[in-house]
Amino acid sequence: MSSTSSGFWRTGDEPGRRQFVTFDRGGTGFSLEGGGHFDGVTVAYETWGELNENRSNAILILHALTGDSHAAGPISEGHPNVGWWDEIIGPGKAVDTDRYFVVCPNVLGGCQGTTGPSSLATDGRPFGSRFPVITIRDQVSVEVELAHYLDITTWSGIIGGSMGGMRALEWAVGYPERVDRVVVLAVGAAGTADQIALCSLQVRTIEADPHFHGGDYYDTGESPREGLSIARGIGQFSYRTWAEFESRFGRHAQDDDAVLENGRYAIESYLNYHGDKLAARFDPNSYIVLSEAMNHHDVGRGRGGVVAALKNVRHHVTIAGVSSDRLYPRELQEELARLIPGAGRMALITSRAGHDGFLIESQQVGDIIAAALGGTE
Protein backbone atom coordinates (compact mmCIF):
# COMPACT_ATOMS: atom_id res chain seq x y z
CA MET A 1 0.00 0.00 0.00
CA SER A 2 1.01 3.61 -0.45
CA SER A 3 -0.06 6.64 1.54
CA THR A 4 -1.82 9.65 0.09
CA SER A 5 -1.63 13.27 1.19
CA SER A 6 -4.87 12.76 3.11
CA GLY A 7 -3.36 9.92 5.12
CA PHE A 8 -5.55 7.24 3.53
CA TRP A 9 -4.17 3.97 2.30
CA ARG A 10 -4.92 2.48 -1.08
CA THR A 11 -4.20 -0.82 -2.76
CA GLY A 12 -1.03 -1.20 -4.73
CA ASP A 13 -0.71 -2.42 -8.28
CA GLU A 14 -0.22 -6.07 -7.34
CA PRO A 15 -3.40 -7.65 -5.96
CA GLY A 16 -2.64 -10.75 -3.93
CA ARG A 17 0.89 -9.57 -3.07
CA ARG A 18 1.73 -10.31 0.55
CA GLN A 19 2.40 -7.14 2.52
CA PHE A 20 3.60 -6.60 6.08
CA VAL A 21 3.00 -4.05 8.81
CA THR A 22 4.16 -3.92 12.43
CA PHE A 23 2.13 -2.44 15.29
CA ASP A 24 3.29 -1.44 18.75
CA ARG A 25 0.27 0.64 19.83
CA GLY A 26 2.36 3.71 20.47
CA GLY A 27 4.84 1.75 22.56
CA THR A 28 2.30 0.05 24.81
CA GLY A 29 2.32 -3.22 22.88
CA PHE A 30 -0.32 -5.94 23.12
CA SER A 31 -1.51 -7.38 26.42
CA LEU A 32 -3.06 -10.81 25.99
CA GLU A 33 -6.01 -12.51 27.66
CA GLY A 34 -3.76 -15.17 29.15
CA GLY A 35 -1.45 -12.61 30.76
CA GLY A 36 1.27 -12.53 28.12
CA HIS A 37 2.50 -9.47 26.25
CA PHE A 38 4.00 -8.53 22.88
CA ASP A 39 5.97 -5.32 22.49
CA GLY A 40 4.92 -5.34 18.85
CA VAL A 41 3.10 -7.56 16.37
CA THR A 42 3.80 -7.94 12.66
CA VAL A 43 0.86 -8.80 10.40
CA ALA A 44 1.07 -10.27 6.91
CA TYR A 45 -1.93 -9.54 4.72
CA GLU A 46 -3.10 -9.42 1.12
CA THR A 47 -5.65 -7.22 -0.61
CA TRP A 48 -7.71 -7.26 -3.79
CA GLY A 49 -9.86 -4.54 -5.36
CA GLU A 50 -9.99 -0.83 -4.61
CA LEU A 51 -11.22 1.02 -1.53
CA ASN A 52 -13.96 3.48 -2.52
CA GLU A 53 -13.93 7.18 -1.70
CA ASN A 54 -15.96 6.93 1.52
CA ARG A 55 -14.13 3.73 2.57
CA SER A 56 -17.36 1.77 2.93
CA ASN A 57 -16.72 -1.24 0.66
CA ALA A 58 -14.13 -3.20 2.66
CA ILE A 59 -14.56 -6.95 3.23
CA LEU A 60 -12.47 -8.89 5.77
CA ILE A 61 -11.81 -12.56 4.95
CA LEU A 62 -10.65 -14.77 7.85
CA HIS A 63 -8.88 -18.06 7.21
CA ALA A 64 -9.10 -21.40 9.02
CA LEU A 65 -6.45 -23.27 11.03
CA THR A 66 -3.83 -23.95 8.36
CA GLY A 67 -4.87 -21.26 5.89
CA ASP A 68 -3.06 -18.00 5.29
CA SER A 69 -3.47 -14.59 3.68
CA HIS A 70 -3.49 -16.00 0.12
CA ALA A 71 -7.25 -16.39 -0.13
CA ALA A 72 -7.33 -15.72 -3.88
CA GLY A 73 -4.96 -15.65 -6.81
CA PRO A 74 -2.66 -18.00 -8.73
CA ILE A 75 0.48 -19.87 -7.80
CA SER A 76 3.31 -17.35 -7.79
CA GLU A 77 6.49 -16.43 -5.99
CA GLY A 78 5.79 -16.87 -2.30
CA HIS A 79 2.48 -18.64 -3.07
CA PRO A 80 2.97 -22.36 -3.81
CA ASN A 81 -0.78 -22.93 -4.01
CA VAL A 82 -3.76 -21.26 -5.66
CA GLY A 83 -5.73 -19.12 -3.21
CA TRP A 84 -7.77 -21.29 -0.86
CA TRP A 85 -11.03 -19.48 -1.80
CA ASP A 86 -10.04 -18.54 -5.34
CA GLU A 87 -13.40 -19.62 -6.76
CA ILE A 88 -15.23 -17.27 -4.38
CA ILE A 89 -13.06 -14.12 -4.37
CA GLY A 90 -12.38 -12.18 -7.57
CA PRO A 91 -13.94 -10.07 -10.33
CA GLY A 92 -17.59 -11.01 -10.78
CA LYS A 93 -17.43 -13.73 -8.11
CA ALA A 94 -19.39 -13.98 -4.85
CA VAL A 95 -16.96 -11.61 -3.16
CA ASP A 96 -16.67 -9.34 -6.15
CA THR A 97 -13.34 -7.50 -6.22
CA ASP A 98 -14.75 -5.13 -8.85
CA ARG A 99 -17.14 -4.00 -6.12
CA TYR A 100 -15.30 -4.61 -2.85
CA PHE A 101 -11.90 -3.95 -1.34
CA VAL A 102 -11.02 -7.36 0.11
CA VAL A 103 -8.48 -7.91 2.90
CA CYS A 104 -7.19 -11.24 4.21
CA PRO A 105 -4.62 -11.23 7.06
CA ASN A 106 -2.56 -14.12 8.30
CA VAL A 107 -3.59 -14.82 11.89
CA LEU A 108 -1.62 -14.07 15.07
CA GLY A 109 0.25 -17.25 15.96
CA GLY A 110 0.57 -18.33 12.33
CA CYS A 111 3.69 -19.02 10.29
CA GLN A 112 3.14 -17.08 7.06
CA GLY A 113 4.51 -13.69 8.06
CA THR A 114 2.39 -12.72 11.07
CA THR A 115 4.00 -12.94 14.50
CA GLY A 116 4.09 -16.57 15.61
CA PRO A 117 6.30 -19.05 17.49
CA SER A 118 8.90 -19.09 14.69
CA SER A 119 9.20 -15.28 14.74
CA LEU A 120 12.18 -13.64 16.39
CA ALA A 121 11.70 -12.34 19.93
CA THR A 122 13.45 -9.21 21.18
CA ASP A 123 16.61 -11.24 21.94
CA GLY A 124 16.93 -12.19 18.27
CA ARG A 125 15.98 -15.84 18.81
CA PRO A 126 12.73 -17.55 17.77
CA PHE A 127 10.01 -17.48 20.42
CA GLY A 128 9.62 -21.24 20.39
CA SER A 129 8.42 -22.47 23.79
CA ARG A 130 8.33 -18.87 25.04
CA PHE A 131 5.45 -17.92 22.77
CA PRO A 132 2.58 -16.93 25.07
CA VAL A 133 -0.90 -18.40 25.21
CA ILE A 134 -3.18 -16.60 22.77
CA THR A 135 -6.92 -16.68 22.22
CA ILE A 136 -9.29 -15.99 19.36
CA ARG A 137 -10.04 -12.68 21.07
CA ASP A 138 -6.34 -11.75 21.00
CA GLN A 139 -6.22 -12.54 17.29
CA VAL A 140 -9.16 -10.24 16.64
CA SER A 141 -7.56 -7.41 18.61
CA VAL A 142 -4.64 -7.57 16.17
CA GLU A 143 -7.06 -7.52 13.23
CA VAL A 144 -8.62 -4.39 14.75
CA GLU A 145 -5.19 -2.74 14.61
CA LEU A 146 -4.94 -3.69 10.94
CA ALA A 147 -8.31 -2.00 10.34
CA HIS A 148 -6.98 1.14 12.04
CA TYR A 149 -3.90 1.06 9.85
CA LEU A 150 -6.00 0.69 6.70
CA ASP A 151 -8.24 3.51 7.93
CA ILE A 152 -11.32 1.28 7.75
CA THR A 153 -13.80 2.32 10.41
CA THR A 154 -16.50 -0.19 9.50
CA TRP A 155 -16.19 -3.40 7.50
CA SER A 156 -18.96 -3.84 4.97
CA GLY A 157 -18.66 -7.56 5.70
CA ILE A 158 -16.59 -10.05 7.67
CA ILE A 159 -16.55 -13.65 6.44
CA GLY A 160 -14.94 -16.69 8.01
CA GLY A 161 -15.23 -20.45 8.33
CA SER A 162 -14.04 -22.79 11.09
CA MET A 163 -11.32 -20.88 13.03
CA GLY A 164 -12.08 -17.91 10.77
CA GLY A 165 -15.72 -18.22 11.81
CA MET A 166 -14.65 -18.01 15.45
CA ARG A 167 -12.96 -14.71 14.73
CA ALA A 168 -15.96 -13.45 12.73
CA LEU A 169 -18.16 -14.16 15.75
CA GLU A 170 -15.73 -12.33 18.05
CA TRP A 171 -15.90 -9.31 15.76
CA ALA A 172 -19.70 -9.44 15.84
CA VAL A 173 -19.84 -9.65 19.63
CA GLY A 174 -16.83 -7.55 20.62
CA TYR A 175 -16.84 -4.84 17.92
CA PRO A 176 -20.44 -4.54 16.70
CA GLU A 177 -19.97 -0.92 15.66
CA ARG A 178 -17.18 -1.88 13.28
CA VAL A 179 -19.01 -4.27 11.00
CA ASP A 180 -22.24 -4.16 8.97
CA ARG A 181 -22.63 -7.81 7.96
CA VAL A 182 -21.07 -11.05 9.20
CA VAL A 183 -21.01 -14.49 7.62
CA VAL A 184 -20.12 -17.37 9.96
CA LEU A 185 -19.50 -20.81 8.46
CA ALA A 186 -19.13 -24.24 10.09
CA VAL A 187 -18.43 -23.34 13.71
CA GLY A 188 -20.14 -22.85 17.06
CA ALA A 189 -20.27 -20.29 19.84
CA ALA A 190 -17.69 -22.13 21.94
CA GLY A 191 -15.36 -25.11 21.66
CA THR A 192 -16.98 -28.40 22.61
CA ALA A 193 -15.47 -31.28 24.57
CA ASP A 194 -15.34 -33.30 21.35
CA GLN A 195 -13.38 -30.61 19.49
CA ILE A 196 -11.05 -30.01 22.42
CA ALA A 197 -10.36 -33.74 22.63
CA LEU A 198 -9.39 -33.95 18.97
CA CYS A 199 -7.17 -30.86 19.17
CA SER A 200 -5.47 -32.03 22.36
CA LEU A 201 -4.62 -35.40 20.82
CA GLN A 202 -3.04 -33.64 17.85
CA VAL A 203 -1.03 -31.38 20.16
CA ARG A 204 0.21 -34.35 22.18
CA THR A 205 1.25 -36.13 18.99
CA ILE A 206 3.48 -33.22 17.97
CA GLU A 207 4.92 -32.82 21.45
CA ALA A 208 5.73 -36.55 21.59
CA ASP A 209 7.92 -36.33 18.47
CA PRO A 210 11.57 -36.74 19.63
CA HIS A 211 12.53 -33.77 17.44
CA PHE A 212 10.16 -31.41 19.28
CA HIS A 213 12.76 -30.41 21.89
CA GLY A 214 10.14 -28.81 24.11
CA GLY A 215 9.21 -26.45 21.27
CA ASP A 216 12.74 -25.10 20.84
CA TYR A 217 13.75 -27.00 17.73
CA TYR A 218 14.50 -24.11 15.38
CA ASP A 219 18.26 -24.11 15.94
CA THR A 220 18.68 -27.89 16.17
CA GLY A 221 18.51 -28.73 12.48
CA GLU A 222 15.52 -30.94 13.31
CA SER A 223 11.76 -30.46 13.28
CA PRO A 224 8.87 -32.58 14.61
CA ARG A 225 7.52 -33.03 11.09
CA GLU A 226 6.45 -36.62 11.68
CA GLY A 227 4.43 -35.57 14.72
CA LEU A 228 2.81 -32.79 12.72
CA SER A 229 2.08 -35.18 9.85
CA ILE A 230 0.27 -37.58 12.18
CA ALA A 231 -1.57 -34.70 13.86
CA ARG A 232 -2.77 -33.51 10.47
CA GLY A 233 -3.92 -37.02 9.65
CA ILE A 234 -6.07 -37.00 12.79
CA GLY A 235 -7.43 -33.63 11.76
CA GLN A 236 -8.08 -34.71 8.18
CA PHE A 237 -10.06 -37.69 9.45
CA SER A 238 -12.31 -35.34 11.44
CA TYR A 239 -12.72 -32.92 8.53
CA ARG A 240 -14.26 -35.52 6.22
CA THR A 241 -16.96 -38.20 6.61
CA TRP A 242 -17.54 -41.94 6.83
CA ALA A 243 -19.59 -41.88 3.63
CA GLU A 244 -16.90 -40.11 1.62
CA PHE A 245 -14.11 -42.34 2.88
CA GLU A 246 -16.12 -45.49 2.22
CA SER A 247 -17.06 -44.50 -1.33
CA ARG A 248 -13.59 -43.19 -2.25
CA PHE A 249 -11.39 -45.73 -0.53
CA GLY A 250 -13.33 -48.57 1.05
CA ARG A 251 -10.92 -51.38 1.88
CA HIS A 252 -8.89 -50.94 -1.29
CA ALA A 253 -5.15 -51.28 -1.16
CA GLN A 254 -2.86 -48.54 -2.38
CA ASP A 255 -1.28 -49.22 -5.80
CA ASP A 256 -2.70 -52.75 -5.88
CA ASP A 257 -0.35 -53.79 -3.07
CA ALA A 258 -1.19 -56.91 -1.15
CA VAL A 259 -2.00 -55.33 2.20
CA LEU A 260 -1.11 -58.45 4.15
CA GLU A 261 2.34 -58.36 2.55
CA ASN A 262 3.51 -55.01 3.92
CA GLY A 263 1.18 -52.99 1.74
CA ARG A 264 -1.06 -50.07 2.71
CA TYR A 265 -4.72 -49.33 2.46
CA ALA A 266 -5.63 -46.44 0.19
CA ILE A 267 -7.11 -44.48 3.10
CA GLU A 268 -3.79 -44.75 4.94
CA SER A 269 -1.97 -43.36 1.93
CA TYR A 270 -4.48 -40.50 1.70
CA LEU A 271 -3.97 -39.49 5.34
CA ASN A 272 -0.20 -39.81 5.05
CA TYR A 273 -0.22 -37.63 1.94
CA HIS A 274 -2.16 -34.81 3.58
CA GLY A 275 -0.06 -35.05 6.72
CA ASP A 276 3.24 -34.87 4.87
CA LYS A 277 1.96 -32.08 2.60
CA LEU A 278 1.14 -29.89 5.59
CA ALA A 279 4.35 -30.77 7.42
CA ALA A 280 6.33 -29.47 4.43
CA ARG A 281 4.80 -25.97 4.70
CA PHE A 282 3.57 -25.40 8.26
CA ASP A 283 5.32 -24.79 11.56
CA PRO A 284 4.47 -27.44 14.21
CA ASN A 285 4.52 -24.85 16.99
CA SER A 286 1.99 -22.73 15.10
CA TYR A 287 -0.24 -25.79 14.76
CA ILE A 288 -0.12 -26.20 18.54
CA VAL A 289 -0.67 -22.52 19.35
CA LEU A 290 -3.60 -22.16 16.94
CA SER A 291 -5.18 -25.46 18.00
CA GLU A 292 -5.10 -24.36 21.62
CA ALA A 293 -6.53 -20.95 20.69
CA MET A 294 -9.45 -22.79 19.09
CA ASN A 295 -9.88 -24.82 22.28
CA HIS A 296 -10.16 -21.54 24.22
CA HIS A 297 -12.87 -20.23 21.86
CA ASP A 298 -15.89 -19.06 23.86
CA VAL A 299 -17.77 -15.89 22.90
CA GLY A 300 -19.48 -15.97 26.31
CA ARG A 301 -16.28 -15.84 28.39
CA GLY A 302 -16.41 -12.75 30.60
CA ARG A 303 -19.68 -11.67 28.99
CA GLY A 304 -22.19 -13.50 31.14
CA GLY A 305 -22.24 -16.64 28.99
CA VAL A 306 -23.00 -17.47 25.37
CA VAL A 307 -26.70 -16.53 25.48
CA ALA A 308 -26.01 -13.10 26.97
CA ALA A 309 -23.17 -12.42 24.53
CA LEU A 310 -25.10 -13.34 21.41
CA LYS A 311 -28.38 -11.63 22.27
CA ASN A 312 -26.68 -8.24 21.98
CA VAL A 313 -25.63 -8.78 18.34
CA ARG A 314 -27.70 -6.37 16.28
CA HIS A 315 -26.25 -6.28 12.79
CA HIS A 316 -27.00 -8.72 9.98
CA VAL A 317 -25.45 -12.13 10.60
CA THR A 318 -25.66 -15.09 8.24
CA ILE A 319 -25.02 -18.52 9.76
CA ALA A 320 -24.23 -21.54 7.58
CA GLY A 321 -23.37 -25.15 8.35
CA VAL A 322 -22.39 -28.26 6.39
CA SER A 323 -24.90 -31.10 6.36
CA SER A 324 -22.30 -33.80 7.02
CA ASP A 325 -19.95 -31.91 9.38
CA ARG A 326 -18.97 -34.17 12.26
CA LEU A 327 -16.41 -31.79 13.74
CA TYR A 328 -18.76 -28.79 14.00
CA PRO A 329 -22.18 -30.43 13.53
CA ARG A 330 -25.11 -28.40 12.28
CA GLU A 331 -26.65 -28.28 15.77
CA LEU A 332 -23.98 -25.73 16.68
CA GLN A 333 -24.93 -23.46 13.80
CA GLU A 334 -28.62 -23.92 14.55
CA GLU A 335 -27.89 -22.73 18.09
CA LEU A 336 -26.14 -19.62 16.74
CA ALA A 337 -29.04 -18.86 14.40
CA ARG A 338 -31.49 -19.25 17.28
CA LEU A 339 -29.57 -17.08 19.75
CA ILE A 340 -28.51 -14.22 17.46
CA PRO A 341 -31.42 -11.79 16.98
CA GLY A 342 -32.31 -11.38 13.33
CA ALA A 343 -29.99 -14.13 12.11
CA GLY A 344 -32.86 -16.05 10.57
CA ARG A 345 -32.64 -19.69 9.63
CA MET A 346 -29.29 -21.39 9.27
CA ALA A 347 -28.23 -21.85 5.65
CA LEU A 348 -27.35 -25.47 4.94
CA ILE A 349 -24.47 -26.48 2.66
CA THR A 350 -25.29 -29.93 1.32
CA SER A 351 -22.14 -32.01 1.03
CA ARG A 352 -20.60 -35.42 1.67
CA ALA A 353 -17.26 -33.73 2.36
CA GLY A 354 -17.90 -32.99 6.03
CA HIS A 355 -16.33 -29.95 7.70
CA ASP A 356 -14.23 -29.23 4.61
CA GLY A 357 -17.46 -28.59 2.72
CA PHE A 358 -17.14 -24.86 3.44
CA LEU A 359 -13.92 -24.91 1.38
CA ILE A 360 -15.00 -27.41 -1.27
CA GLU A 361 -18.62 -26.54 -2.12
CA SER A 362 -17.71 -23.25 -3.79
CA GLN A 363 -21.00 -22.74 -5.64
CA GLN A 364 -23.20 -23.21 -2.58
CA VAL A 365 -20.92 -21.23 -0.30
CA GLY A 366 -20.58 -18.47 -2.88
CA ASP A 367 -24.35 -18.21 -3.24
CA ILE A 368 -24.75 -17.89 0.54
CA ILE A 369 -22.07 -15.21 0.74
CA ALA A 370 -23.40 -13.26 -2.26
CA ALA A 371 -26.89 -13.23 -0.72
CA ALA A 372 -25.49 -12.12 2.64
CA LEU A 373 -23.62 -9.26 1.00
CA GLY A 374 -26.75 -8.12 -0.82
CA GLY A 375 -26.16 -9.69 -4.24
CA THR A 376 -24.57 -7.84 -7.14
CA GLU A 377 -25.13 -4.29 -8.19
Q: Which of 63, 79, 316, 355 is catalytic?
A: 355
Tell me, yes or no, if 296 is annotated catalytic.
no
pLDDT value at 77 more than 90: no
Catalytic residue among 69, 141, 162, 229: 162
Is residue 162 part of the annotated active site? The answer reads: yes
Mean pLDDT of 352-357: 98
Of 336, 329, 345, the C-alpha closest to 309 is 336
252-258 average pLDDT score: 76
Q: What is the mean pLDDT of residues 269-275?
A: 96
Reference 126, options 348, 272, 289, 274; nearest CA is 289
Q: Is 242 helix (H, G, I), strand (E, B) or coil?
A: helix
Report DSSP state, residue 220: T
How is residue 259 annotated by DSSP? G
pLDDT of 12 above 80: no
Residue 14 binned pLDDT confidence (cut-offs 50, 70, 90): low
**Mean pLDDT rounded to a whole number for the chain:** 93
316: enclosing H helix or E strand: strand 316-322
- Residue 120 backbone dihedrals phi, psi, to 5 degrees: -80, 130
pLDDT at 104 over 70: yes
Q: What is the pLDDT of residues 16-30, one digit of tens each?
A: 689 999 999 999 999
pLDDT at 4: 32
β-sheet bridge partners, residue 179: 155
Q: How many CB atoms lie within 10 A of CB 235?
A: 23
Parallel, antiparallel or unpaired: strands 347-349 and 316-322: parallel
Continuous H helices in 7-110: none
Q: How much is the pLDDT for 7?
A: 30
The domains found in the chain, sorted by start residue, are 8-191+295-372 (3.40.50.1820), 194-294 (1.10.1740.110)
From the candidates 68, 96, 298, 325, give the one annotated as an active-site residue: 325
Burial of 35 (0-12, 13-18, 19+ CB in 10 A): exposed
pLDDT for 342: 87
The whole-angstrom separation of Cα 169 and Cα 163 is 10
